[in-house]
Amino acid sequence: MEPRFVQALYERRFDRAVQAAAPWAGRWMRTWVLVRPAILLEAQAWQLASDRRRATAAFDSARKLLEAEVHATPDDGRLRSALGIAYAGLGRKDDAAARLGVRSS
């Protein structure tokens, strides 16, 4: 991911983080440890900025992408983890816990 995105998050300059992520729109960050669509990172930046409307829209877009990827590759825990984050961002605690393989309370 764009280093300016990460730095802007650390500096709590969330609008700048979203701007830095813009060139990554439609792309994915894929490493052997994790997989994240750029829209999920944008959603988290909006959530940190307390912009619930934009965060919800971005989390829902990420959810749709990730549900399709999980359906195509159900054994990839990195995708299930990312989908759990999207569900959590949408306030879907039980769905998030189920994707992560934990019990919700």
Q: What is the pLDDT of residues 36-77, one digit of tens each?
A: 999 999 999 999 999 999 999 999 999 999 999 999 999 999
Cα→Cα distances 8→2, 13, 39, 82, Å: 10, 5, 16, 21
- pTM for the complete prediction? 0.82
Q: How many helices (H) and strands (E) does the chain have?
A: 6, 2
The percent of residues in the chain predicted with pLDDT above 90, rounded, is 51
The pLDDT of residue 68 is 96
The pLDDT of residue 25 is 77
Q: What angle do CA 65, 43, 91 make, to 5 degrees?
A: 85
Fold of 3-100: 1.25.40
Cα→Cα distances 68→14, 19, 62, Å: 28, 26, 10
Contact 2, 27 (CB under 8 A): no
Residue ranges of domains in the chain: 3-100
